Every structure is written in C-alpha cells, then in structure tokens.
Structure 1
Amino acid sequence: MAKLLLVEDNEMNRDMLARRLMRRGFEVTVAIDGEQALKKLSEGRFDLVLMDLSLPVMDGWEATRRIRQKPKYADLPIIALTAHALEGDRHKAIEAGCNGFETKPVKIESLLETMSNWLDG
C-alpha cells in the first residue's frame, strides 16, 4: 500500500480527496500548509506527495523547492494540485520540482493515472 502525503488547505477538498484515495487502498497523511508538509516528511516515509500550490504560511511552490533541496527526497514524486490551469502554472510547478500536474477540481481517474506513472516507476 502506497503512503501518500496530501497537502491541501481547503478542508472540504482535503477530506473528499483523502477519502477517495483511502477507498482505493492508499494510506493518506494530510498537511494543511507547506511548513506542516515539511515537518510530516521529516517524521515519516512517503511514496508520493500531492501538493496544493496555493497554501497559507508557505505555498506549494516554496515547499516543493525546499523538499528538492534535500538529497533524500530527490526521487520522491510530487504531483501539483491546483485550480490554476494555465500552461505557465504547469511550467512553474515543474520548475519548482513537481513531477506531475493535475488541475482542480480533481478528476480522480486522471489523478490515479498520473500517480500510477510515478509509483510504478
């Protein structure tokens, strides 16, 4: 069972997505901002991060850049989740260190396919 870190500040989005992923057999840990995501990463092992980009305290772009600065997370897949659907946003997320990009509202089948590409190597 893959362990996911879901970083999402919107309670309704976070709860809905976490439930849908758990029903599909994933173990989900949640963080509500970038700082909390970094703390949870340091406390456990995760197979993939789902990172909202628009977060309070520390946004997802900065959190992703900080994650990528640590060699032990070099191969950790990070999928950006955002309501910003412009190509420039996708490019900015990839530049920050995200491996994939999914727009909100999340289409679960598309997200699962993107996740599978990174989890299955």
Structure 2
Amino acid sequence: MLNILLVEDNKENQLLISWIIEDAGYSLDIADDAETGLAYMANKHYDLVLMDISLPGMNGKDAVKIIRKTPAYNAIPVIAITAHTLQNELDEINQCGFSAVQHKPVDEELLLSTIQEFTQAK
C-alpha cells in the first residue's frame, strides 16, 4: 500500500484529495503546513508527497528544496498542487525540485495517473 503525505492548508482541498487517495486504496496523512509535513517525513516513510505551493509559514517551494537536500527522503516524488497558472510561476515551481505539477481544481484521473507514474502503483 502506498503511503502518501498531503501538505495542504485548505480544508476543502484536503477533503477532496483524501477522497481520491483513499478511494484508490492508498494510505494518506495530512499536514496543514510545510513545517508539520517535514516533521511527518522525519518520522515516517512516504512513497509520495502532494505539496501545495501557497501555505501559511513556509511555502511549498521552500519545503521541497529542504526535501531535496535531505538524504533520507530526497528521492521521494513530490507533486506540486497549485492554483498558479502563469508560465513564470510554473517555471519557478519546476526549478525547485518538484517531480510534477497538478493544477487546482484537482482532476481525479490525472492525479491518480501521476501518482501511478511516479510510484509504479506499489
């Protein structure tokens, strides 16, 4: 079973994504901010992380930079979940070390196919 971490501060997005992930049979933990998400990662193995970009406190771009510099989990796929659509914003997101970008509102089929692509559906 896949262990997935969702780092998202919006309760409605948390609920929508949790339905998608849990209906697919995956295990999901939810962190409301990047600092909490990083603490979860330090204490549990995750096969994939879904990371919002605009978070209270540390943003998702800074969090993924920390993830990529941490040997214990730098190889974990991190998918950005964002409402940002301008090309310069997307370029900046891609340069931070994300494995892929998913746009809000989240498309269930696209999200699940992206998860499968990066995890080979363990």
Residue of structure 2 in register with 1:58 after alignment: 58
Between the aligned residues of both structures, percent identity stands at: 36
Residue of structure 1 in register with 2:40 after alignment: 40
Q: Normalising by structure 1, report the TM-score.
A: 0.95
Q: Deviations over 1:40-95 (max 9, x none)?
A: 10010000000000000111011111111101222100000000022222221221
In structure 2, the gaps of 5 or more residues are: none
How far is 1:109 from its partner? Answer: 0.5
2: CA distance between counterparts of 1:110 and 1:88? 23
Residue of structure 2 in register with 1:21 after alignment: 21
Residue of structure 2 in register with 1:49 after alignment: 49
2: CA distance between counterparts of 1:9 and 1:25? 23
Residue of structure 2 in register with 1:74 after alignment: 74
Residue-pair matches, total: 121
RMSD: 1.2
Residue of structure 2 in register with 1:83 after alignment: 83
Give every structure 1 segment of 4 or more consecutive aligned residues whose post-TM-superposition deviation is greater than 3 Å: none
Residue of structure 2 in register with 1:8 after alignment: 8
Q: Normalising by structure 2, report the TM-score.
A: 0.94
In structure 1, the gaps of 5 or more residues are: none
